[in-house]
């Protein structure tokens, strides 16, 4: 891997699909008739498609490919800029004895790949018009679509989604591709959805995920009732003097990768209200650093213009306002909005993706 994969490439992560493929091959040498498929691709081809071969591509050796998509194939090494498997990947596989036919065919998310089987339509009560299967996406990208497509409009450049779950995940739609595995940043090529205009401009979903997040609130024994009560009267117009980095354990991945990064939760004030404010401000500051990192690496626009918020933290109105004030000041943009997402379910985003293909 080190000899072939480009510097800072997403495949260099130990959890990437390519790393898993190479590890599997080292333990159980891949045979000529074996192919790789992500879970969703296997289910689509073997359970939902009326004729599985319509979702695959035949080769001279009669080896079949499952149909993947730009998003799922990114960490397998697929070149999302040139829309093909890169030469370095093919050379790597050849050197270690893996036939390139193991790789799935890759299509644009939302592109029709086959027909839905009649038994499936009948079993689940789908409309008779629901006859097509389309190329998929990852769960986090589907969640972005669900949150950013609020009100029936498709996302524009500069629209971002921050998920405040147990960890902090951020994505923003950019005109430019950015990538740096050392800072936990990568880009997904965004599909040209129906109604997005005819300019043909590229769009990239850039982002990363930090280890800070709402898990720290449970770690520090804040109950739901306490969170509601303390947040209600919180003065978010003033900056907390507490400079926290609220990790639950050692190690950070974004906005920089540092396996030795330690939690910072001191000094600890006597007031639980001030302690909570310091923690929420600390997470907000990591979000700010995250968007600054995307801008430094070349995201365009260089900072978000609107941020939809998903996850449990989105229910906290005081925190929404705190983040809006902080980010407006940081990016000198009084028009930047931080809002609660109406819907952030990945299943809804997948439906938006599929529907847009026929609009």
- Are 105 and 171 in a shared domain? no
With CA atoms as reference, report the closest residue to 323 among 345, 290, 297, 296: 290
- Are 199 and 281 in a shared domain? yes
Q: pLDDT per residue over 205-218, tens digit each?
A: 999 999 999 999 99
Give the pLDDT confidence score for residue 127 in this predicted structure.
83
Give the pLDDT confidence score for residue 245 in this predicted structure.
98
Phi, psi of 285 (to 5 degrees): -70, -35
- Are 177 and 257 in a shared domain? yes
Domain assignment of residue 163, yes or no = yes
- Are 103 and 178 in a shared domain? no
Domain span at 172? 139-346
- Are 66 and 163 in a shared domain? no
- Are 189 and 156 in a shared domain? yes
| Cβ neighbourhood burial of 212 (10 Å; 0-12, 13-18, 19+) | buried
- Are 95 and 169 in a shared domain? no
Q: pLDDT per residue over 295-319, tens digit each?
A: 999 999 999 999 999 999 999 999 9
Q: Among 80, 115, 150, give the residue marking a domain's end.
A: 115
Domain assignment of residue 217, yes or no = yes
- Are 157 and 261 in a shared domain? yes
The number of folded domains in the chain is: 2
Domain assignment of residue 200, yes or no = yes
Quick one: pLDDT band at residue 251, thresholds 50, 70, 90? Answer: very high
Phi, psi of 217 (to 5 degrees): -70, -40
Domain assignment of residue 126, yes or no = no
Q: What is the pTM of this model?
A: 0.83
Give the pLDDT confidence score for residue 70 in this predicted structure.
95
Whether the Cβ atoms of residue 111 and residue 135 lie closer than 8 Å to each other: yes
Whether the Cβ atoms of residue 299 and residue 176 lie closer than 8 Å to each other: yes
Domain assignment of residue 186, yes or no = yes
- Are 211 and 274 in a shared domain? yes
Q: Among 100, 115, 130, give the residue marking a domain's end.
A: 115
Phi, psi of 287 (to 5 degrees): -60, -45
Domain assignment of residue 359, yes or no = no
Whether the Cβ atoms of residue 70 and residue 109 lie closer than 8 Å to each other: yes
Phi, psi of 245 (to 5 degrees): -125, 90
Region at 273 (left for phi over 0; alpha for psi -120 to 50; beta for the rest): alpha
Strand partners, 316: none
- Are 109 and 47 in a shared domain? yes
Domain assignment of residue 274, yes or no = yes
- Are 102 and 145 in a shared domain? no
Most confident of 18-27, 124-133, 175-184: 18-27
Domain assignment of residue 5, yes or no = no
Q: pLDDT per residue over 143-188, tens digit each?
A: 898 988 765 666 889 999 999 999 999 999 999 999 888 888 989 9
What b/e sequence results for 250-271 when a residue is b if at least 16 CB atoms lie within 10 Å of its CB, and e otherwise?
eebbbbbbeeebebebeeeeee
CATH assignment at residue 258: 3.30.420.40
Contacts of 258 (CB under 8 A, 6+ apart): 251, 252
- Are 72 and 107 in a shared domain? yes
Residue 347 structure tokens: 């299943």
């Amino acid at each position: 891997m080190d000899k072939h994969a480009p510097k800072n490439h997403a495949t260099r992560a130990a959890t990437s699909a390519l790393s898993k493929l190479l590890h599997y091959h080292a333990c159980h040498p891949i045979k000529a008739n074996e192919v790789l498929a992500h879970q969703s691709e296997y289910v689509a081809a073997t359970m939902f498609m009326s004729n599985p071969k319509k979702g695959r591509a035949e080769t001279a050796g009669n080896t079949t490919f499952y149909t993947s998509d730009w998003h799922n194939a990114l960490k397998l090494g697929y070149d999302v800029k040139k829309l093909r498997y890169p030469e370095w990947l093919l050379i790597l596989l050849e050197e270690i004895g893996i036939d390139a036919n193991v790789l799935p065919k890759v299509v644009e998310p939302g592109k029709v790949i086959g027909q839905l089987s009649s038994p499936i339509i009948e079993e689940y009560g789908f409309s008779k018009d629901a006859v097509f299967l389309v190329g998929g996406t990852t769960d986090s990208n589907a969640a972005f679509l669900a949150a950013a497509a609020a009100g029936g409009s498709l996302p524009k450049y500069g629209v971002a989604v921050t998920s405040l779950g147990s960890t902090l995940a951020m994505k923003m739609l950019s005109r430019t591709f950015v990538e740096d595995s050392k800072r936990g940043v990568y880009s997904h090529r965004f599909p040209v959805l129906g109604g997005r205009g005819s300019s043909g401009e590229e769009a990239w979903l850039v982002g990363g995920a930090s280890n800070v997040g709402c898990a720290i609130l449970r770690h520090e024994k804040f109950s739901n009732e306490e969170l509601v009560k303390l947040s209600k009267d919180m003065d978010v117009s003033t900056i907390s003097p507490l400079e926290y980095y609220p990790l639950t354990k050692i190690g950070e991945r974004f906005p920089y990768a540092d396996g030795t990064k330690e939690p910072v939760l001191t000094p600890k004030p006597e007031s639980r209200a001030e302690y909570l404010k310091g923690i929420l401000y600390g997470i907000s500051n990591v979000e700010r650093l995250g968007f600054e990192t995307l801008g430094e690496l070349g995201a365009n626009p260089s900072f978000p213009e609107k941020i939809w918020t998903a996850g449990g933290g989105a229910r906290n109105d005081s925190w929404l306002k705190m983040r809006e004030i902080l980010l407006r000041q940081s990016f000198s943009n009084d028009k930047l909005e931080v809002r609660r997402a109406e819907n952030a379910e990945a299943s809804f985003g997948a439906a938006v993706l599929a529907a847009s293909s026929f609009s």
